[in-house]
Amino acid sequence: MRAKLRHLFRLAIATDAEAVQAPDGIWTTRCLHCRTRLQVAADGEAIGASSLEHVVPQAWFDLRAAADLTAQVGEDRDDPRNLAVACRRCNQDKGKGPDAKGPQDARACEVVAALLAKRLARWRPVADTPTG
């Protein structure tokens, strides 16, 4: 796995208030979508079905129709507020559904807005994360 992707996984997991780090360094959390138990290694390596979710799809940035959503996470697609751990199945389904339909689709915007609200509700500032 590329170093940048591992770094993004570490940001997503470290800022997830539901994530718990075991003494061996393994982080455990729940899929943002379906609540399946997922794990990420201390170095940011995905374990099992874990995948990195960009809650507001990367392709939606710089699109006027998504401005209200992107404003909640800033201008950076990789802002930790826009990153979450999701299971591969849910992440792929989102990519084929709401992400692909784009922000012009009202239902797609509803789905992404609901996921973003979940992510922000699970937000933990990095300074508050356990050092494990």
Q: Does residue 132 fall inside a structural domain?
A: no
Q: Does residue 128 fall inside a structural domain?
A: no
Q: How many domains does the chain have?
A: 1
Q: Does residue 129 fall inside a structural domain?
A: no
Task: Write the pLDDT tens digit of every residue in 13-36.
Answer: 999 999 999 999 999 999 999 999
Query: Which of 115, 111, 102 lies closest to 31 in space, CA to CA?
Result: 115
pLDDT (0 to 100) of residue 59: 94
- pTM of this prediction? 0.90
Which residues form the domain of 7?
3-121
Distance CA 122, CA 78 (A): 17
User: pLDDT-based confidence at 127, cuts 50/70/90?
Assistant: low
Cβ pair 68, 108 in contact under 8 A: no
Distance CA 119, CA 12 (A): 10
Q: Does residue 109 fall inside a structural domain?
A: yes
Q: Can you tell me whether residue 36 is helix, strand or coil?
A: coil
Task: Write the pLDDT tens digit of every residue in 36-69.
Answer: 999 999 999 999 999 999 999 999 999 999 999 9
User: pLDDT-based confidence at 126, cuts 50/70/90?
Assistant: confident
Task: Write the pLDDT tens digit of every residue in 62-91.
Answer: 999 999 999 999 989 999 999 999 999 999
Q: Is the pLDDT of residue 1 over 70?
A: no
Distance CA 115, CA 118 (A): 5
Q: Does residue 19 fall inside a structural domain?
A: yes
